[in-house]
Structure 1
Amino acid sequence: MLLKLCFKINNYKYFILPFLVFFLAVFPSICLSKTLLEKKYLISGKTMGTFYNIQVFGKNNLNTFILKQKIDMRLKMINNTMSCFLENSELSVFNKTRANIFFKPSIDFFFILKKAENLFKITNGSWDGTVKPLVKLWGFKTKKEILKIPEKKLINNILKNTGFNKIHISKNKILKQNSLLSLDLGSIAKGYGVDAVSKLLKNHGFKNFFVEIGGEVFAFGKKRNKKFWKVGITMPLKNFQSQSIYKKIKLNNKAMATSGNYRNFIKIKEKEFSHIINPKTGYPSTSKVISASVIADTCTFADGLATALMVMKYKKGLKLINKLKNTECLIIIKTKNKNLKNFVSKNFPEI
């Protein structure tokens, strides 16, 4: 029917049918060739006291030097916004601000505070970015050695000056109710950095890439072999090698963050205390959970939830994750017999 139609229109169009057959036969290989021609580039560097590693697939003449400059510039901007260690960072300046004084935030600071506010509400306070005084009291992020457990009275007094609900965030301005209230966004800063770099790569037209900052990741598209990205969750025990894998999962346009208490801790009179502070008690977490991995649409959200799961009872944590859309988790606990046992949410993408 097509051949007859071609001849009726014009004699020279008898080429259409053979060309159509040829095109349909060759088109898949053309597409495949284009995919295979994409080259994998590795970009790495330092940021936020840790390292970042990026895999990106792009054209053969991609200028990675310029791309790395843009990535470094973006990450430096974020670090200058929310670092606890830089005296002149935006976060440090805010921490010095007195109560009920309007503070005009940058776009990054405003966005991360809105995300932090959401995390605080969703977790019912199990994630709280105002525990900085408690972290310092217990000897974390300081060179001061703690020789004895802080007094309960002192902890309770500090708790009066914490609580993310004491920060009011409105359009273009924020204020805090208490002058002693101070922020520490370290538990979501790397995740925010991952999201920012991922957005930068998307805006530059990249369709397949993998971003990792200090263990927090975002995977977009696929690898060159058309397979989804695979990520390993490390064995959550101190005496295991850092590369020992507990579980492998696949990521498809998702972020993943893991929090654990098995490497960062202090000893007071031979007793170990986790670096993760329970915002409700003021004491280091005593939960059975030793590792929590969260998969979500953004790494900021995954990062904060993973921290919250470390202080929550694992059953309560699972219940929370199963209520959230597009969010999954793997929680590992240590039993009384010191064995590892894991619990996963309904649709956790285990390989």
Structure 2
Amino acid sequence: MIALSRKHRTALAMIGFLCLMTGSGCDYRKEFQFSGPTMGTTYHITIKAPFWNSMTSLDRSIREELAAVNKSMSVYDKESEISRFNAIEDTRQSMEISERFAEVLSLSKQVWDLTEGAFDPTVFPLVRIWGFYTGNENGLPDEKTLEAIHHQVGFGYVRFDDRNHIGKCIPEISLDLGAIAKGYGVDQIAAVIRKAGYTDFLVEIGGEVVASGRKASDQPWRIGINYPDPAAPLDLVYKSLTLQNKAIATSGDYRNFRQIGGKRYAHIIDPRTGSPIDNGVVSVSVIADTCALADGLATGLMVMGHEKGIALVEGLPGTECLYLVKNAEGALQEFASSGFGKTP
């Protein structure tokens, strides 16, 4: 409960009196908004709260939590936990990690198991060898190089225990949690906001979203799924839907790909084959109870394809998905789980 000063209590009483006298449906709440850079992208937060509330302390707590997540899992920070793990060369060595890092690793293992290896946080060496995120404009990797790198990928080579210690089974293994960390960051910020006593808010980091409660207008939050075409404006919406007390994350290959010899190569690599996906899937959106789960699943489902992916989701409580697939003629097709887009 938020404590009010005598001045604020008097103001609230006066507002209530005026609403009763005029018979109007006065609402003393407004939407506060925060935004800024984080995790190589941006965050946007909207919170419904009484208009007299100060958000200074909450804003500071949000920025501190985002900094802590970055400090744990940013591969661009050489002093982060994940960078220190990746630098380990001795398979006999282990390191203690934070609760945040341990939570994400545990969830990564869950999604890795669910998707039968289609989601794998150790896949980044393959992403690099195919020329993504490196500025490498060369041709395709040769088979010998690809095979050697493929042998250095596999989440099963990461060992960790319930005491938050991790190590390596082979020295070459490395982690990149970019396919799940943004979703986890969204969940962490949602937890900070709930701890502060607010129940109506929207948190978004790089397109991954948690929606709680309702807007100031008492309408449900509406979320847009981008049109999956590289030529489309960034804000062009393919489909919008309402979201309440749920999370949504989208993975797509339509912004990051390479065109070589007339063939298109997606940046999403199948960890099991070592090659870019070639299944026609251009976008997958996942609704789940947590954004970290939705985020990790969205990547795994891209790799699995719509038939196996939807079959998996149908067996996961509280989880739905939407696939956008281009057929042989280039037309866009929808494939969705049975409850996707339905108001609970």
Query: Does the alignment reach a TM-score above 0.5?
Result: yes
**Relative to 1, partners in 2 of residues 1:34 and 1:196: Cα closer, same or farther, differing over 3 Å?**
farther
Structure 1: 5+ residue runs without aligned partners? 1-25
1:18 corresponds to which residue? none
What is the total number of aligned residue pairs between the two structures?
A: 323
Alpha-carbon RMSD? 2.0
Q: Residue type of the partner of 1:214?
A: G
Q: Partners in 1 of 2:26 and 2:173 — Cα distance?
A: 52
**Does the Cα contact within 8 Å between 1:248 and 1:350 map onto a contact in 2?**
no
Q: Deviation digits for residues 170-206 of structure 1, max 9, x if unmatched?
A: 1221222011000011011110110000000011110
What SS is found at the alignment partner of 2:278? coil
2:170 corresponds to which residue? 178
Q: Is 2:107 the counterpart of 1:115? A: yes
Task: Output the TM-score relative to the length of structure 1.
Answer: 0.88
Q: Is 2:47 the counterpart of 1:56? A: yes
What SS is found at the alignment partner of 1:51? strand
Q: Is 2:335 the counterpart of 1:347? A: no
**Does the Cα contact within 8 Å between 1:126 and 1:280 map onto a contact in 2?**
yes
Q: Is 2:127 the counterpart of 1:135? A: yes
- Find the partner of 1:304 among 296, 303, 311: 296
Q: Residue type of the partner of 1:168?
A: R
1:95 corresponds to which residue? 86
What SS is found at the alignment partner of 2:279? coil
- Find the partner of 1:151 among 130, 136, 142: 142
Q: Deviation digits for residues 279-299 of structure 1, max 9, x if unmatched?
A: 011111112110000000000
**Greater Cα shift, 231-240 or 295-304:** 231-240
Q: Partners in 2 of 1:64 and 1:255 — Cα distance?
A: 24
Q: Partners in 2 of 1:270 and 1:66 — Cα distance?
A: 54
Q: Is 2:2 the counterpart of 1:46? A: no
Q: Is 2:193 the counterpart of 1:201? A: yes
Q: Partners in 2 of 1:322 and 1:197 — Cα distance?
A: 28
Q: Residue type of the partner of 1:85?
A: Y
1:232 corresponds to which residue? 224
What SS is found at the alignment partner of 1:36? coil
Matches within 5 A, 1:194-343: 194-343=186-335
Offset of residue 33 of structure 1: 8.4
Q: Partners in 2 of 1:268 and 1:228 — Cα distance?
A: 45
What SS is found at the alignment partner of 1:239? coil
1:79 corresponds to which residue? 70
Offset of residue 227 of structure 1: 2.1
**Does the Cα contact within 8 Å between 2:285 and 2:322 map onto a contact in 1?**
yes
Q: Partners in 2 of 1:29 and 1:165 — Cα distance?
A: 64
Q: Partners in 1 of 2:24 and 2:201 — Cα distance?
A: 19
Structure 2: 5+ residue runs without aligned partners? 1-16
Offset of residue 270 of structure 1: 4.6
1:164 corresponds to which residue? 155
What SS is found at the alignment partner of 1:230? strand
**Relative to 1, partners in 2 of residues 1:82 and 1:171: Cα closer, same or farther, differing over 3 Å?**
same
Q: Which has the larger radius of gyration?
A: 1
Q: Deviation digits for residues 242-301 of structure 1, max 9, x if unmatched?
A: 222111111110000001101111233453311111101111111211000000000010
Offset of residue 86 of structure 1: 1.2
